[in-house]
Amino acid sequence: MIPVSTRLRTGLLAACTALAALATIGPASADATSATQLGGDWAPFTRCPVDSPVMLAADGRADIVQCIASHAASGSIKLGNTQVVTGASDLQLGVVQHADGTNSLVAPAGGALIADSADIPGGLLGLMCPSDIPVIGDICRQISNGTLNRVVATVESAGAPTDFNLTSGATSGRPIIAIPIRIHLQNPFLGGSCYIGSTAHPIVLHPQNLTAPKLGIQRFDGNGTPNTAGDMNRLSLTDAGQTDTTFAVPGASGCGLAGLLDWAVNLKTGLPSAAGKNSIVLNSASTYLAGLHAPGTVVPDNGKLLSAYWHSAVQ
């Protein structure tokens, strides 16, 4: 009779070999994910959820609706013992400002945050190898080329952001927004469900400006054409580096067959990792806020008119 441990190793390695033969890893892109292109001063707001029922219902008196878009060309993230240089990230939301001074955030259907994928330094060899544990050692010996070794990390939304504060976005040193995320690790041996964080237990980022951004205000027509007497306003907060060092990071889950590689990823990466041991940096972040210049004059159609204007700018 074959020992259970041997059968488990054999089954795991067979599954991993099948995954290796079938898997393809294609990085996401914060610039290419959205096919919508908008003209003029609407250009940053490619994913604003203007057709959300909550947005459309804003009347311009009790509720005023606007679009938010924030883009950073590059950055870095440190989770436990691992630091990764990241590419572009794009955060977009609808914001409903209520008469009592509070606000509600509306995420696009595809999630508020999209980001370029990034390669984990050292790949799977760096995450798990060398190891004297039989299953891990066998995997390490099979990693003979870059495809099997490559680990791609992609930051994904893990829920709708909360706690948006426009004043913090225009200054420095204060949290601007709370963004729940998870990080998808992709490699043939890790399978398709390996994540750091989850929708139930996300990593929650609270980015703040390192320096006060440059402030600009534009007026434009509904179709995006600049016009100093236009119906639309756009607030621009540009060229501000952002950071957060306050977030905790849970351990990985779903890595390998039945999660058997979770502990290996966690051990080498230093996860879970308490608040204060992790960090994120966004370089040259630019944030834009757009809405009707005089929403009180279009009651009760603030949301409907914003949607119509947004669609009129689609190219």
Residue 286 β-bridge partners: 71
One-letter amino acid at 117 equals S
How far from chain centre, in Å, is Cα 208? 16
With contact defined as beta carbons under 8 Å apart, do 236 and 288 qualify?
A: yes
Show pLDDT as tens, one digit a residue, over the chain (315 residues). Answer: 434 344 334 333 333 333 333 333 444 566 544 468 999 999 999 999 999 999 999 999 999 999 999 999 999 999 999 999 999 999 999 999 999 999 999 999 989 999 999 999 989 988 888 887 888 888 888 887 788 899 999 999 999 999 999 999 999 999 999 999 999 999 999 999 999 999 999 999 999 999 999 999 999 999 999 999 999 999 999 999 999 999 999 999 999 988 989 998 998 889 999 999 999 999 999 999 999 999 999 999 999 999 999 999 999
Distance CA 225, CA 172 (A): 31
Distance CA 29, CA 154 (A): 9
One-letter amino acid at 152 equals V
In the chain, what are the domain boundaries?
4-312
Count the alpha carbons within 13 Å of 171 in the hemisphere toward its beta carbon: 7
With contact defined as beta carbons under 8 Å apart, do 114 and 33 qualify?
A: yes
Question: Counting runs of H as helices and runs of E as strands, what totals does the chain give?
Answer: 8, 16
With contact defined as beta carbons under 8 Å apart, do 128 and 196 qualify?
A: no
pTM across the whole model? 0.86
Distance CA 45, CA 168 (A): 21
- Confidence at residue 24, expressed as pLDDT on a 0 to 100 scale: 36
Tokens of 186: 């992709």
